[in-house]
Amino acid sequence: MFKILKKRVLNPDVTLMEIEAPQVARKALPGQFIILRVDDKGERIPLTVAGFDREAGSITIIFQKVGYTTIKLDSMEEGECLIDFVGPLGVASEFEGMKKVAVIGGGLGVAIAYPQAKALHDLGAEVDLIVGFRNKDLIILEEELKDASTNLTMMTDDGSNGNKGFVTAALQERLAQGANYDTVIAIGPLMMMKAVCDLTNESGIHTIISMNPIMIDGTGMCGCCRLTVDGKTKFACVDGPDFDGHKVDFAEAIARSKMYKAEEKISMEKHNCRLTGGVR
Residue 222 interacts with, from ligand FAD, ligand FES, none (CB under 5-8 Å by kind): ligand FES
Looking at the Cβ atoms of 139 and 225, the one nearer to ligand FES is 225
Instruction: Verify binding: residue 159, ligand FES, rule CB under 6 A.
Output: no
**Strand, coil or helix: 259:** coil
Q: What is the dihedral of CA 108, 110, 114, 116, to 10 degrees?
A: 90
Q: Of all residues in this chain, which one has the CB nearest to ligand FAD in the complex?
A: 67
Nearer to ligand FAD, 52 or 181 (CB): 52
Min dist CB 92 to ligand FES, Å, is 17
Residues 251 and 194: their CA atoms lie apart, in Å, by: 10
Given ligand FAD, ligand FES, none, residue 109, with its beta carbon under 5 to 8 Å by kind, binds none
Residues 227-266 that bind ligand FES (CB under 6 A): 235, 237
Taking the C-alpha atoms of residue 47 and residue 37, their distance in angstroms, rounded to an integer, is: 11
> Which residues would be at the binding site for ligand FAD (CB under 6 A)?
33, 45-48, 62-64, 66-70, 108, 111-112, 212-215, 241, 257, 264, 267-268
Q: Which helix (H) or strand (E) covers residue 52, if one does?
A: strand 51-53
Among 53, 74, 84, 217, binds ligand FES (CB under 6 A): 217
Binding part of the chain for ligand FES, among 56-64, 184-192, 223-231, 256-264 by CB under 6 A, reads 223-231
One DSSP character per residue, 187-256 reads ES-HHHHHHHHHHHHHHT-EEEEE-----SSSSSSS-TTEEEETTEEEEHHHH-SEEEGGGB-HHHHHHH
* Residue 87 φ/ψ region, left for φ over 0, alpha for ψ in the -120 to 50 degree band, beta for the rest: left
221 binds ligand FES (CB under 6 A): yes
Minimum distance, C-beta of residue 165 to ligand FES, in the bound complex (Å)? 35
